[in-house]
Structures are given as structure tokens and as C-alpha cells.
Structure 1
């Protein structure tokens, strides 16, 4: 089922508990390959990318036991085997590249498939990852269907300064360094909450990592890692999404949030649309006073701005969520995606709702909000949060809308539609053509 039918116009209200962050879960799953000891993970979400990774583990001989009801996952890679000439990694899933360090450390070989992509956010190069693997001693051979990597023995430690603060490149460096011989240092490291959660998991296994939450990480390689139990935190993407759904529909939604210290900039971004975020007793809620309205800047003759870039900037994955608020709120906002060059080209779908948005260039969009909106049938690009943003706009409009090709939502958010319906929404999946 790939399309969503949205009967909008109902203010959403109630309490919701978010799932774990896909961007923490997937690298942590890949990190489990580094140890031969049993690992238990609590709160593993039921999403397609997780299923693909677990299927790879099963195909390699790992022990995988998933309790579908409790969402507890037991992994044991004691009997895992890998052959770069035979075994294939998941395609169309960016995170599969993080299986490479564990394979190199365990089997001295790995591969990168030609179709490792993920969401259609523009050019997503693999060169920074290949460079990291080479710095740890890997040779790289191009074959017709991908790259084959090999190391003669144990990975060797090194110091590296990345071109930009890439989340996945940072995680691949840490994965390689955890078992490398010697001390490794990474400058310009990404520091997003999910990177911090990923490093906390590795430290639980026995990795020696210094500098969590900063742009400089130091890793002292160890001989081996142990096992243990780990519980995932709530996904801040989902927290923001549910808060925004409450705000855009004129409702009152409360979301469980154990990390409000990560939200000051996110809270101020909501305030630019007339939305106040309140954090109390482990829960967060969005409060509005009447229709949404863009806050005018004090500086004359400039637009209100929302700029997204690597943490501690506003996370770029959240930008579409605020674009939806910009379409609804009275006033104009300039949105600036400072990372991806192909993530803003969906203004034509917003116009089908009657929204007014102008694409200034591949990185910048201006919304002229507060226009009369009407139900529509729109088509989502293969970008998780854009599909959700289109759903948000539809949910705020009385009448029936259709979001075609909304499947990317399933990659990150388990039971997403069911959760929204528990807040009073009328949304359902239907088969696409």
C-alpha cells in the first residue's frame, strides 16, 4: 500500500509516545557486527530498513530473535560468515554502507553496492566513506556491480579531518576506530543526537570514545568489544512531527520527550510561526493562539528565515515539517537547506493545495503562507519528511486529499498512521496503481 487518503480538517488532540530514531537504530544495528557477544536492544521500531538489515544478518548466519510485541531484539554474531564475492548488502538504503566497518574488522573484506542511495535528496557521494576506509588501511577495487574492499589484517588507527560534518561518515570513522590498533582522532565530526546515542551504545560495549557531542572525537582502539543491553530514546523527528501536526490542525497534542535539552533551537523555530512549545514532566506540547502567523523580523525589508544545516543548527530533516507550517501560517518565510541540493523541488505539489511556494534555487524556498487551501491529490518524492509534510498540509484542510507514493514514511516511522488516527485523524493506506 503506497497511497494515503487523508480526510482533513479535524483538530488533533491527545498523547503520543514516539518510536526510536531510525538514524540511531540503523547504525547501532550495524555496530553490533563488531562484537561476537550477545546484544539485546529495547524499543526497536518496526520499519522496513530495520527488516532489511536483520535479513542481511540472518543470511550471514547471525542469530536474530525479534519479539514483535515488546520490540525487544536479541542479536548474536558469533557464527556470522561473509564472502564479498557472494554476499550482497541492501540496496536503496543509505545506512547499509555502515555494515562495511564491521565486515572489514571481522572478515578483512567488504563491499559497497552501486545502488546505495536512500532518499532522493540530490547527489549523495560515497567518496568520503571510501576515504575513511582507505585511511584505516583498506584497499578498494572497482567491480562491475560495486566496490570490493579488503584489509590485510587489523585496521590501523589514524587522524582525519572531514570536508563537512557528515553523520554517516562520522559513524563509519568511529566504527572503524573502535577496534583499530592505536588512537584515532576525527575533526569536524557530526554531533547530532543520534550520533551521540550511537556513540553511547558503543561505549556500553566497551569502546573508548572521548568528545561525545562535540566536533572532535578521540577513539582508543580496543582488542575486542563485549555485549549488553541498550534502550533507544524517543526520536526527536517524531516528537517535532507530532507537535507540528497538533499546531497545523489547531489541536493540542502532547508528546513524550525525555530530552528537552535538545530542543531550544527547535522551540525558537516553532515560535517563528506563532507556536509555543511547552516542556513539562517529560512531555512536550504545542500551544497556539488562533491561526498560525509568521513572526515579523525586527530587521526591516528581510524575510523571516529558517536555516537548516548540521547540528547544532536546525536539523535538515526537519525542514519540510516547517515548510508545511509556512504554507499554513500567514506571512512569508525563506527556507534554506544548506546540505542537500535536491531536497526542495516539491513546490509544485504544494501548489496543488493552493499553497504558494517559490523555489529560489536548489537550496532555498520561499513560502507565502495564509492563502486559501483546498483538498488535492499530490505525489510525494522519495523523501521521508516531505511525504509527512504533504500529509500535514492535507490534515489541516477540510475534505479528502490523496498523498500518492507515501511509502517512504514506512522507512522511518512504525505505526505512523495508526498513531495519528489515535489523535483523531481520519487517514488510511490504500493500494497505489
Structure 2
């Protein structure tokens, strides 16, 4: 690949990095807004991969670069150095990477005077190579999040989470029908809970069974809340925060009559597209959850808006785009959502509350406080008897605490909290 051929994806990856680290944007938002649409499909994939790998290795890249920098450069230059360092650590040809890094710095009028420094630093990084990179410690979660996690878990557990985050995430698939038959074609690993895991999936839409709608992408941990809910054929079930639709499809596949609610028009379009591809049926409603007032549901799934701190192994941009300032607003919103959802349930109905968060305030504490606010409300611990779910994952108040370091030898899982609540009859 010539330098010019490789510059487009690198330039796009650099834009993504700058937007995450300087503007607090998330990669999913940027890509959804069309940040990569000007590139051919192959270059789009490469740009996204470069940005994701750089964010995943950011802290390690900073440690390597600090040895060769007399002072911290402007963020735009720093991100070029980070991007190129991660590429060099991955074994990319030094000549091409260094030249591309210098060119990216030179093309920016505000940083052009630093092209000589960029060249010198990247040549020193290239001399260290993958061997020098491998000697560095795993990247740490940024301090604003590491502090709360250390309060909730032991230092050893936090370090184990960080190791899984740095390793990245394989692709997990939820199958609509026969899991074994689907895996015969996909050639993956069937996990204890029934998801299929692919270590090197490649282009998702090219995988066997995609066009036929036989399955959908869903982290194994994210599939467990519906297993706990255990929807039954003919039941009336509400998926209160439905997008992108993985849990809606799980419920629909059970034969239940599911209503999917989401406040975003764009996200609801994605839910509808997923339902159409898989041939599954659900009633879709674009509405604020608090404005939805239809009642009489046998069961409700509330995958509440949260800090998403359990998804860092798949979304390494999150620690750099956020700073924790929104935590309290999210926690307050979750409590109000639980109370509102209970008003929509039949007497004796069940509510599965879950969040893809590692913070107890968005999980265990929410359930404890919900029980205090709602007399007669109980936790259904028997609902946690799900195939593949380890008894050690259970928590004191009767929920499940899933962590990234669980199944670490298989690639880990998203962090989740899950509990089933029963409304008094």
C-alpha cells in the first residue's frame, strides 16, 4: 500500500480520535452521523479499526511516547503519535507508518512546525517495536472511573477487568432457532449460555445466515436479561428501552407479544430493520418511556439508560469521551423508570431491571432502594436459574453481577447487572 493510499483511513481515524479526546464524542455517534461515509467500505473499516485499537491502547501508547517527549505536544499531534505508535506496535512497516504520521502533522497548518519532532519520536518508537510495547503494563482505566471501581471491587478484580478490556472483544451472536445448526455454518464456539462466539468474524453481513435472518449480533451478557425474564408464548411483554433491538428479538422469538419502546426515531428505525431481517414481529412505539402509559403487561424488560461502563471492552472510547459527571442524573432516572414500569405491570407481573454498568449504584443499590420505595415488591431469585449462569455471579439482594473478567479465557463478557422484581398480586 502506498503512503497516499494509506493516508485516507489514517486521516479519518485521526478525526475520530480528535473528536473523542477533545470533544467528548462517542465513536458510535460519529459513525452514525456519517463521519466515515466519504471513504470506500474497506477504508471505512480500516479507519474504525485504527481508531478503536488506538483508544484501546491509548494509556500504553502514552507511556511509550513519554520516554521520547520532552513535553506534551498539542492534542492533535499527540493523537497522530498515539495512532502511529499503536500501528508500529502491531508490526506495521515502520517506513510507511512514520512517513504517514509526519504527513498528517505537516498537512495541518497549526501543527506543521512539529513534523520534525514527529519524525524523530516515531523513529525511536519504531526502534522499540512490538517487543518494547509488549513489556509495558496493561492500560489502566482512566482515574475518573477507576476510583469508583476500586471502591466497588478489589484491586485484583479491577486489574483483571483492565486486562480483558485491552484484549478486545470477540463477536457474540444470538440465534433465533437451532444453535448447533447455526454454529455448524459459523464455525464458532457455543458459550455456556447458548450464544455463539466468533474470534475473528470479519464482515458481519457476509457471515452465513445473516441475510436469512437466522441470528443477530449481541454480547453474551446482554442476552442473559431475557433468559431471566423467561418470556412465554402468548404473554404481553414490554421492552421499555428497546434499541438496538437484540432483546426485543429474543422476546419476539419466544412467541410473546412484545411492544418495543424507544425515544429515538433513528434508533427505532434500526430496531425495525433488525426485526425485518430476522422475520420477527413486534409492535414498535417511538416515545419517551415516561410518557408511555399503556398497562396490563405480564412482564417488562427495563434495560435502563446507564453509564455503559460495562461495555468498555467493546467501546474503548467511552472512558475518554466521558468523565462521570452524568452519573447522578442517570441514577435518578433509573429509579424513576423502575417506579414507572411497575405501574404498567399487571398485579403479580415481573420486571427485569438491568444496566450495562459496573457501578453498584446503577445495579445492586437501585434494587435495594426500589424495595424500600415499593411495599410488597420482591426479588425473584428463582428466575436466576438460567443455563450457563454461575451461582457465584449472584448478589446479596438477589440479582446477578456480570463482569468483563468472567470467562476471561474465552474473551470475557460485558459488565451487566440483572434482577427480576415481582409486583405484589
TM-score (norm 2): 0.28
The structure that has the greater radius of gyration is: 2
Q: Which structure carries more relative contact order (alpha carbon 8 Å, separation 6+)?
A: 1
User: Relative to total residues, which structure has the larger helix share, 1 or 2?
Assistant: 2
TM-score (norm 1): 0.27
User: Relative to total residues, which structure has the larger strand share, 1 or 2?
Assistant: 1
